[in-house]
């Protein structure tokens, strides 16, 4: 009987068009002849990319799937066919797309219900390869509620099915919802025995899956720790895989799993497994005898583990010479006798700078040690100017952590013009995260004790930061205002005048109406810095006095919280400290009434801030008009309110009220 297998009717990609002049494929008059053809195909395609491309263009995928879908086909034919398909999916994206478009996933999923163990294993291997492709849809295991339970039912068949199922699940675990779903199907309990099997491939696959399952998911992570097998819970089982009797690849995967469990909140930073087992393993991964991939992953995990925890930052920095070990990343030129590739070098440098950024986030001594490590600042400079966005981001994060040091800003940063590439980034359409960290770093470089402040201002920082205040992105808008606030602090009058001119009243009011409280607070901080010290107040008010008063009235009449209103009253207190500027208050009955109202407010901080305004209006009896101001304030009953404040149970407020009351020299 002639066996002629037609192309699958499930649809094919455009790359599968059959060459009209090609020889017919898989046409045979017997099972034996067909099997010979398929074995010949197998020998042609394994390890031969050109043959794979050619055969896919001739429509081989559809014919193979037709064989696999034919339940009456001989077992050996189907097994050899799925082997060929498994080889074809280990190709480029174009070839994988052709396999996916032909409906391979549905066929392979149906194959998992076969009675032949070998066939099931081969189908799983093929699905594993497809799932690891970046172009494969990762939701295929959720298309039918029966798929995940069936996959898990195959785990105990063999070591191959264990490894394949765990890998497929990890590749298809991409978000919180999927984590919860997979955990609810008892995936942790079902796969845990594999970690007791001493089968390396199974252990690796399960550890990867556990890491994916617990990543940034506190609920799932906590529940995972309550899973037991053979008298050992999951934590202790994973910890055992950090032992020196295990291959180092296994140890780094176990460490990764425990790092993710910690960051998800399931393990504390004081857990001895983290401090005494995981940290040393990660530092060991960074040493010169390890592969580029291991060194990169080790540094990345150090960065992630220590990012938010001060104690872990300190512990890691003294673990097995961690900082100098990381510094060797910048000296790697060859791996296994071959020159390192540029992409590998970038990844190494990125990982090192990311680790430095986390380690230096809070501790001054760690920052000093990193800065003093050979050419750290030079390497950051190269990272800032790199074409790799990932390396740029790591360099900016490292710079941001180091820029929190007053000592380093005054010394090391003075010799390295790192603000130039930062400002270049902020003028381009970089990724949001890069812009956020770069703008935050620039804020630190504009602090009053930074020797770079003047150079940054001269390079056009005012125009740049004002431009960024118009951003639709909240973090960028906040950092821009924050930078302007830092720039205005103890700035000379020329810089302040330029800032007021470029910002303009419309944008000032827009920022004060911003729906985000912190932006409003920083804008008020900017105004307060503009209105100090005393010699600058009258000059600034001459430039924008009416707008300042309008802004004060707008905030004091708003529904903003007490903290914002306290800051606003402090601005008014600064205005009252000027000479000519006092008239802006004394000639405005509405403002005076608001000061009196806030002196009687239930919030003691607002009482104190309003009292600060009154004190600055009356304190210098030698100043022209002081007695007149005192008399006007007495006429509206300020003294009576101050008398009430003297009786406050708050000792500081009571003493301040008493001092202010004694300052009045005019007769009642």
Architecture of domain 1-136: Alpha Horseshoe (1.25)
Residues linked to residue 419 through DSSP beta bridges, in sequence order: none
**pLDDT, position 218:** 97
Residue ranges of E strands in 329-390: 334-335, 338-339
Is a pLDDT exceeding 50 seen at residue 10?
Answer: no
Is a pLDDT exceeding 90 seen at residue 663?
Answer: no
Is a pLDDT exceeding 60 seen at residue 392?
Answer: yes
SS3 339: strand
pLDDT digits (tens, 9 = 90+) for 533-588: 999 999 999 999 999 999 999 999 999 999 999 999 999 999 999 999 999 999 99
Residue 18 banded pLDDT, cuts 50, 70, 90: very low
- Tell which residue, 595, 539, 588, 542, has the closest CA to residue 565: 595
**pLDDT, position 206:** 98
**pLDDT, position 2:** 28
**pLDDT, position 242:** 97
Is a pLDDT exceeding 60 seen at residue 7?
Answer: no
The Cα-based distances of 362 to 27, 73, 318, 407 in angstroms read 71, 67, 15, 14
Summarize the confidence of residues 601-624 as an average pLDDT. Answer: 89
**pLDDT, position 47:** 83
Range with lowest mean pLDDT among 274-278, 374-378, 432-436, 648-652: 374-378
Distance, C-alpha 29 to centroid of its chain: 61
Whether the CB-CB separation of 537 and 577 falls below 8 Å is answered with yes
Q: How many CB atoms lie within 10 A of CB 24?
A: 10
**Calpha distance 547→117 (Å, rounded):** 80
Residue 494 banded pLDDT, cuts 50, 70, 90: very high
Q: What is the DSSP letter of 452?
A: T
Give the CA angle between residues 18, 19, 23 to the nearest 5°: 95
Range with lowest mean pLDDT among 210-224, 231-245, 333-347, 474-488: 333-347
Is a pLDDT exceeding 70 seen at residue 16?
Answer: no
| CATH code of the domain occupying 548-668 | 1.25.10.10
> Cis ω on the peptide bond leading into residue 533 (within 30° of 0)?
yes
- Give me the count of residues in the chain: 668
**pLDDT, position 413:** 79
Residues linked to residue 335 through DSSP beta bridges, in sequence order: 338
Summarize the confidence of residues 95-117 as an average pLDDT. Answer: 95
**pLDDT, position 197:** 92
Residue 448 banded pLDDT, cuts 50, 70, 90: confident
The Cα-based distances of 312 to 233, 271, 276, 324, 371 in angstroms read 24, 11, 11, 17, 19
**pLDDT, position 14:** 33
Distance, C-alpha 251 to centroid of its chain: 26
Summarize the confidence of residues 350-374 as an average pLDDT. Answer: 95
Distance, C-alpha 218 to centroid of its chain: 17
Is a pLDDT exceeding 50 seen at residue 415?
Answer: yes
Tokens of 408: 């380093």
**pLDDT, position 408:** 81
**Calpha distance 470→661 (Å, rounded):** 45
The Cα-based distances of 137 to 8, 165, 423, 432, 474 in angstroms read 21, 16, 40, 27, 33
pLDDT digits (tens, 9 = 90+) for 306-343: 999 999 999 999 999 999 999 999 998 887 778 899 99
Tokens of 262: 């910690």
Summarize the confidence of residues 350-363 as an average pLDDT. Answer: 97
Query: Can you give 300-324 as a three-state secondary structure string?
Result: HHHHHHHCCCHHHHHHHHCCCCHHH
- Tell which residue, 496, 516, 499, 517, has the closest CA to residue 507: 499
Instruction: Check residue 624 and give left, alpha or beta (phi > 0: left; psi -120 to 50: alpha).
Output: beta
Is a pLDDT exceeding 70 seen at residue 666?
Answer: no
**pLDDT, position 235:** 97
**Calpha distance 196→595 (Å, rounded):** 73
**Calpha distance 78→69 (Å, rounded):** 9
Residue 665 banded pLDDT, cuts 50, 70, 90: low
Is a pLDDT exceeding 50 seen at residue 3?
Answer: no
> Cis ω on the peptide bond leading into residue 232 (within 30° of 0)?
no
Is a pLDDT exceeding 80 seen at residue 193?
Answer: yes
**pLDDT, position 21:** 37
SS3 220: helix
**Calpha distance 119→111 (Å, rounded):** 7
Pairing of strands 27-28, 334-335: unpaired
Is a pLDDT exceeding 70 seen at residue 28?
Answer: no
Residues linked to residue 28 through DSSP beta bridges, in sequence order: 3
pLDDT digits (tens, 9 = 90+) for 118-130: 999 999 999 999 9
Q: 564 exposed, middle or buried (CB, 10 Å; 0-12, 13-18, 19+)? A: buried
**Calpha distance 649→658 (Å, rounded):** 13
Whether the CB-CB separation of 488 and 496 falls below 8 Å is answered with yes
Sign of CA dihedral 192, 195, 196, 200: positive
Whether the CB-CB separation of 61 and 108 falls below 8 Å is answered with no
**pLDDT, position 621:** 61
Is a pLDDT exceeding 50 seen at residue 263?
Answer: yes
Q: Average pLDDT of the chain?
A: 91
Tokens of 177: 């919802």
pLDDT digits (tens, 9 = 90+) for 519-531: 999 999 999 999 9
**Calpha distance 441→364 (Å, rounded):** 17
Whether the CB-CB separation of 78 and 119 falls below 8 Å is answered with yes
Share of the chain above pLDDT 70, in %: 95
Residues linked to residue 339 through DSSP beta bridges, in sequence order: 334
Give the CA count within 13 Å in the CB-facing half-sphere of 478. Answer: 12
Tokens of 249: 């690849």
**pLDDT, position 588:** 95
Is a pLDDT exceeding 90 seen at residue 25?
Answer: no
Whether the CB-CB separation of 642 and 657 falls below 8 Å is answered with yes
Summarize the confidence of residues 218-226 as an average pLDDT. Answer: 97
């Amino acid at each position: 009987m002639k066996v002629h297998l037609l192309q699958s009717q499930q649809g094919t990609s455009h790359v599968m068009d059959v060459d009209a002049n090609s020889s017919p494929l898989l046409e045979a008059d017997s099972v034996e002849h067909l099997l010979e053809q398929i074995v010949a195909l197998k020998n042609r395609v394994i390890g031969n990319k050109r043959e794979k491309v050619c055969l896919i263009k001739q429509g081989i995928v559809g014919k193979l799937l037709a064989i696999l879908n034919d339940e009456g086909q001989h077992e050996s034919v189907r097994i050899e066919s799925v082997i060929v398909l498994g080889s074809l999916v280990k190709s480029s994206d174009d070839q994988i797309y052709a396999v996916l478009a032909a409906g391979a996933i549905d066929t392979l999923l149906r194959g998992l219900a076969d009675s032949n163990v070998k066939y099931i294993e081969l189908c799983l291997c093929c699905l594993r390869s497809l799932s690891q492709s970046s172009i494969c849809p990762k939701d295929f295991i959720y298309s039918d509620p029966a798929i995940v339970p069936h996959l898990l039912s195959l785990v105990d068949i063999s070591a191959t099915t264990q490894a394949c199922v765990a890998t497929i699940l990890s590749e298809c675990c991409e978000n919180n919802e999927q984590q919860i779903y997979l955990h609810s199907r008892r995936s942790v309990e079902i796969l845990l025995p594999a970690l007791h099997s001493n089968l390396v491939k199974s252990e690796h696959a399960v550890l990867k899956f556990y890491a994916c399952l617990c990543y940034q998911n506190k609920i799932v992570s906590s529940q995972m720790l309550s899973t037991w097998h053979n008298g050992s819970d999951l934590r202790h089982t994973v910890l055992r895989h950090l032992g020196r009797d295990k291959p180092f690849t296994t140890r780094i995967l176990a460490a990764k799993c425990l790092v993710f469990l910690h960051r998800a909140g399931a393990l504390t930073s004081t857990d001895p497994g983290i401090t005494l087992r995981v940290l040393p393993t990660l530092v060991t991964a960074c040493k010169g005898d390890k592969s580029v991939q291991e060194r990169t992953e080790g540094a990345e995990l150090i960065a992630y583990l220590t990012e938010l925890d001060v104690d872990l930052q300190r512990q890691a920095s003294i673990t097995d010479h961690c900082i100098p070990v990381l510094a060797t990343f910048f000296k790697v030129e060859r791996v296994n006798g071959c020159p390192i590739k540029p992409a590998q070098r970038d990844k190494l440098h990125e990982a090192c700078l990311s680790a430095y950024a986390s380690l230096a986030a809070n501790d001054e001594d760690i920052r000093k040690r990193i800065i003093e490590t050979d050419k750290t600042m030079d390497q950051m400079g190269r990272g800032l100017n790199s074409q790799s966005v990932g390396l740029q981001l790591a360099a900016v994060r490292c710079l941001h952590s180091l820029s929190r040091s007053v000592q380093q800003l005054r010394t090391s940063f003075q010799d390295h013009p790192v603000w130039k590439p930062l400002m270049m980034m902020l003028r381009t359409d970089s990724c949001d995260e890069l812009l956020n960290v770069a703008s935050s770093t620039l804020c630190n470089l504009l602090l009053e004790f930074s020797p770079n402040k003047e150079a940054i201002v001269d390079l056009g920082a005012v125009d740049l930061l004002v431009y960024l205040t118009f951003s639709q992105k909240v973090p960028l808008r906040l950092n821009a205002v924050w930078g302007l606030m830092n720039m205005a602090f103890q700035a000379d009058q020329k810089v302040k005048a330029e800032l007021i001119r470029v910002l303009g009243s419309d944008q000032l009011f827009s920022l004060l109406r911003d729906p985000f409280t912190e932006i409003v607070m920083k804008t008020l901080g900017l105004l307060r810095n503009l209105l100090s010290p005393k010699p600058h107040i009258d000059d600034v008010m001459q430039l924008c006095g009416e707008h300042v008063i309008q802004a004060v009235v707008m905030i004091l009449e708003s529904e903003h919280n007490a903290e914002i209103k306290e800051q606003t009253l402090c601005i008014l207190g600064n205005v009252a400290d000027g000479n000519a500027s006092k008239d802006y208050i004394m000639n405005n009955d509405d403002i005076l009434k608001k000061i009196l109202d806030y002196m009687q407010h239930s919030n003691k901080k607002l009482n104190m801030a309003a009292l600060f305004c009154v004190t600055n209006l009356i304190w210098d009896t030698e100043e022209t008009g002081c007695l007149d101001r005192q008399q006007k304030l007495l006429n509206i009953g300020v003294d009576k309110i101050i008398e009430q404040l003297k009786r406050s149970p708050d000792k500081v407020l009571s003493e301040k009220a008493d001092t202010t009351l004694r300052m009045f020299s005019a007769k009642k």
